[in-house]
Amino acid sequence: MYRKNIGIIYMVIDSLRYDYGDLLYSHSGLSRYRFLSLTSYTTATYSAPAHTSLLTGLPPCLHGVYRKSLDPSINDFYVSEKTNRQMLQNILSKYGYITHLYSANPYISPGLGYRGFSIYVDLLPSKHRRSFISYRERKVMDLIYSRYRSSLLRFFMYLRVLGFDFMVRLLMDKYIVPLFWGNKDWPRDKGGDRFRELFIDIIRKRKEVLLKSFIFVNLMEVHEPYLFDDDLRYYQDLVDRLAKTDGGSWERYIEAIVDPLKQAYRSQVVRVASILREILYELYDAGILDDMLVIITSDHGQLLGEYGMLGHINVACDEMLRVPLFLKLPNNIEDNDIYRKINNDSECIVSHLKIPRLIKSVAIDNKAIDICDDIVFSELYGRSYKDNGRTVHQITKKPIVFAYGLGYKALYDMNSNRFIELTKTNGSKNGNEADQVIRRVKRYVALCRGLDRLRSISPKTVFRSKI
């Protein structure tokens, strides 16, 4: 059977939350090119396991890329040879595809097991530049900044606590250092500008190559740090300490610490949108966009002050697990019934496990498959709970399975072998969704454990369990 050449662009915008998806959609002009805007759920809240699922269609418990202990090492995120053979780049290369990897994430590289790509480009620019301000002084600055709203008061406190020589070094660090050392646009530019230049150059000079290429891209612009040399752990530690010593709460310091991070996060989303807008226009202008499958999604979300936390950690919440998904199928299968079903299904939720199956079906068989799910699963190695009004994050040895769909959200703790939550999210249709969710979760847990069956758990047992 004749197989039409279809170019594939598979782009992961690291740490992009679902509620910022509309911002990306509107600023990048995706609607102009008939992109579908869907809701997707990641399989994990860290880059390495989530990317491995995005490339294999396997859950973390099967591909094995996750921490193996309470104190993870770099080896825990290494892709095994067995898992690597099931990745898209190795499968599609057998069908004549040229496979490209453009990654700004050091974890997503051939050195950590993502092998088999014909072309690999490390996008991450050198972020190191000389600084005259020490780490201790930066933390003291953060402390003063959070306590005093007046710029004049902050200036005198800097002078009083850190001294005149610090003020001189601060001015040098702000105005002199960027002229001579390091990447002047760090951390706003984390490799996205370089990818735009490289990719537009390919479109203009060798566009025919793209129609037989599988291009996997990781962009880190939306990933922290958002401000020069910041680390969200510094802010988290600072807020926890302030709340404890001052007897205050997280909300007291939202304006001083979290709001600047949110503004920087939003500006980074707009920056990625401008990169997308230019690339899509070049593809359209070259006349090859209609023959390409383009998928844009994220590996996981990000916490920006919610639940008293910053960054991406193992918390079962929409801000971490729910991510945007934008999809454009090639024109030759655009009138397919599956395409219309996806487009018209308002309740469609997509698991990351379905995306590799769609890519293989389109690339190899020139067919689209139904990627809508009624229930999606994720694996977390931690949980959060309230203790005296403060949110406590607990790391677990075995995963906690998160399930969402059929009108319910469920959490099953594989450490204690019980459901710790089963919550109704909307109205019931036929009354037996709870039983269906329980059965599906039991099957998923059995799959992770390699068991043929799991001890029977009834709905009554679930609701009696302590949360």
Domain boundaries, the chain: 7-127+187-230+249-373, 135-180, 379-464
**Range 350-362 average pLDDT:** 94
Q: Which CATH architecture has domain 7-127+187-230+249-373?
A: 3-Layer(aba) Sandwich (3.40)
List, in sequence order, every residue forming a beta bridge with 404; answer none if it has no partner.
Answer: 376, 409
What confidence score (pLDDT) does residue 161 get?
84
pLDDT digits (tens, 9 = 90+) for 259-303: 778 888 999 999 999 999 999 999 999 999 999 999 999 999 998
Nearest to 380 by CA among 150, 49, 27: 49
- Whole-model pTM: value is 0.83
- φ and ψ at residue 341, rounded to 5 degrees: -65, -45
Query: What φ, ψ does residue 162 adopt, rounded to 5°?
Result: -105, -20
pLDDT on residue 459: 40
Confidence of residue 465 (pLDDT cuts 50, 70, 90): very low
In the chain, % of residues over pLDDT 90: 42
Q: Is the pLDDT of residue 364 over 50?
A: yes
CB 123, CB 108: distance < 8 Å: no
Cis peptide before 49 (omega within 30 of 0): no
- Does position 167 have pLDDT exceeding 90, yes or no? no
CA distance 117 to 341: 33
User: How confident is the model at residue 269, as a pLDDT?
Assistant: 96
∠ CA 418-462-58, rounded to 5°: 55
Cα separation, 262 vs 186, whole angstroms: 17
User: What pLDDT is stored for residue 130 in this prediction?
Assistant: 61
* pLDDT at residue 53 in the model: 96
**pLDDT confidence of residue 460:** 42
- Residue 104 pLDDT: 92
Rounded distance between C-alpha atoms, residue 93 and residue 155, angstroms: 60
Residue 466 predicted with pLDDT over 80: no
Is the pLDDT confidence value at 326 over 90? yes
Q: Looking at 210-219, 237-246, 387-396, which range is the least confident one?
A: 237-246
Q: What is the mean pLDDT of the chain?
A: 82
Helices of type H across 286-336: 318-321
Beta strands 408-413 and 418-424: pairing type? Answer: antiparallel
Which helix (H) or strand (E) segment holds residue 51: the answer is helix 47-56
Q: According to the model, what pLDDT value does residue 458 have?
A: 42
**pLDDT at residue 403 greater than cutoff 80:** yes
Which pLDDT belongs to residue 464?
A: 37
What is the tens place of the pLDDT at every residue in 61-93? 899 888 655 566 677 788 999 999 999 999 999
Q: How confident is the model at residue 146 (pLDDT cuts 50, 70, 90)?
A: low
Q: Which of 456, 414, 454, 459 is nearest to 434 (CA)?
A: 459
Q: How confident is the model at residue 134 (pLDDT cuts 50, 70, 90)?
A: confident
